[in-house]
Amino acid sequence: MYLPEDSGGRAATGAVMPEPSRPHKRALWWALPVAGVALLGAWRTIGAGGDAPPPPPPAQVTVSTPLIRNVAEWDDYTGRFRASQSVEIRPRVSGALDAIHFHDGDIVRKGQLLFTIDPRPFAAAYREAQARTQSAATALALARADVARAERLIADEAVSREEVDSLRARVQSSVAALAAARAQADARRLDVEFTRVRSPVTGRISDRRVDVGNLVSGEGSGAGTVLTTVNALDPIYFEFDGSEALYLKQQRAGRQGAEVEIRLQDEPAYRWRGRVDFTDNAIDRGSGTIRGRATVANPNYFLTPGLFGNMRLGSGRSAPALLVPDAAVSTDIARKTVYVVGAGDKVVAKPVTIGPLVDGLRVIRGGIGKQDRVVISGVQFAQPGATVKPVIGRIVAQPATDAGVISADPPASQATFAG
């Protein structure tokens, strides 16, 4: 605000404005050139396109040469388990069901009693057949006595030869009648035994299909009533389909009873062992596959029919192979790629041919060499042509898992193999 001054140079209010000191004025004058130089330098840097910021350091990745091991050759299949024997329990005689002698789902032994059918009608029929047998035996004895008397009188010509021949024919007829009576008695005795239905195999039984008191039909009246089923599970079968190429490979190898290893869906390792005991006699024209079967021991009945499994069929040969962690293999549409660190620490992508998983590591059948430095950790930072900072690591096999373990070590001149 402007304040009028009086004649003495003072403001109208009587206040006197202090005069700035001369050293303060000098500081202001020197600061202005310095600020101008700084603004000019910044304008030159921005407007004239000065030096770019320094590039980021190269990404660090863990590398190792492939693990070299003798690996058995396997072919992979899928299939399902099937009972080695599956029996439908049906009665052989008709009648009323008297008793059930098992609990649903039990393990039953061969010959164990399962069902009882009312035996009284069959016991009566058996006694009747026994009586007929006795009658036939008596008739035979009488016929033989008549023949004996006639043969003594034939020398005195007291009887004719025709009568003697007739008596001998009656003996033969009595013999046949006795045999028929005995066979009928045996049949009736079997009917009595068939009223006690027993398990024909050892295995796990299903639930009962008929309750006590119901009438059941035997084999003589059609197919018969299904009472239950029993599956023999030790050993158990594993059925699979193989391609024509795999069939030819196994045939040319000339191996019979090849060993197999099977893994269930929730298992990380192949823990079940067996042998191939059957190959079908023809290749299916529609699918181009052939059916095979392996026998697997199952003493605790853990495996059950219908379970799905992955199977490896060994060829009986082993050869040196290169192994890397499965995570080190990248998939590009239908191509498998492994990143290696080459000259000048630059990343190179190499297409590879892969094999099966062995002890959690992937077999590499072609595409890389045993001296290549494979990126086993930090694959996401490995871009073809990029420069990286490699850190030497090691590849460790783990038989109990499906994934290789990767551990980084301090830099060294060579990777350490463990497995």
89 vs 413: which has the higher pLDDT: 89
Residue 239 has pLDDT above 60, yes or no: yes
Highest mean pLDDT among 257-266, 300-309, 321-330: 300-309
Query: Do the beta carbons of residue 366 and residue 39 sit within 8 Å?
Result: no
The whole-number pLDDT of residue 176 equals 94
The pTM score is 0.63
For residue 332 the two structure tokens come to 């590009």
The secondary element (H helix, E strand) that includes residue 309 is strand 308-325
User: Is the confidence at residue 406, as pLDDT, over 50?
Assistant: no
The DSSP result for 382-412, as a single string, is --TT-BEEEEEEEEE--TTSSS-EEEE----
Tell me the average pLDDT across 174-198.
94
Range ranked top by mean pLDDT from 89-93, 168-172, 222-226, 257-261 = 89-93
Residue 358 — very low, low, confident or very high, per pLDDT cuts 50/70/90?
A: confident
pLDDT at 419: 28
Tell me the two tokens of residue 222.
Answer: 């059609």
- What's the pLDDT at 12? 43
Confidence band for 244, pLDDT divided at 50, 70 and 90:
confident
Q: What is the pLDDT of residue 25?
A: 47
User: Do 321 and 68 form a contact (C-beta atoms < 8 A)?
Assistant: yes
**Sign of torsion, CA 124 125 129 131?**
positive
Mean pLDDT of the chain: 81
What pLDDT sits at residue 203?
95
Predicted pLDDT of residue 225: 92
pLDDT at 87: 95
Per-residue pLDDT, 263: 92
- Tell me the pLDDT band of 399, cut-offs 50, 70 and 90: low
- pLDDT computed for residue 52 by the predictor: 64
Q: What is the predicted pLDDT for the residue at 190?
A: 94
Highest mean pLDDT (candidates 69-83, 171-185, 255-269) = 171-185
Q: For residue 220, what pLDDT is reported?
A: 67
The better pLDDT of the pair 326, 25 is held by: 326
- C-alpha distances out from residue 241 to 170, 254, 291, 315, Å: 67, 19, 5, 17
The tens digit of pLDDT for each residue in 3-49 reads: 444 444 444 444 444 444 444 444 444 444 544 545 545 445 544 45
Give tens-digit pLDDT for 94-133.
999 999 999 999 999 999 999 999 999 999 999 999 999 9
Question: What is the spatial distance between Cα 246 and Cα 134, in angstroms, rounded to a whole number?
Answer: 68
Residue 23 CA to residue 21 CA, distance in Å, equals 6
Residues 371-398: what's their mean pLDDT?
87
User: Which domains are delineated in the chain?
Assistant: 62-71+318-418 (2.40.420.20), 75-83+230-317 (2.40.30.170), 97-116+195-226 (no CATH), 119-194 (1.10.287.470)
pLDDT-derived band of residue 408, with 50, 70 and 90 as boundaries? very low
Would the pLDDT of 91 be above 80?
yes
What average pLDDT score do residues 209-236 get? 89
Residue 269 has pLDDT above 60, yes or no: yes
- Give the rounded percent of residues in the chain with a pLDDT score beyond 70: 79
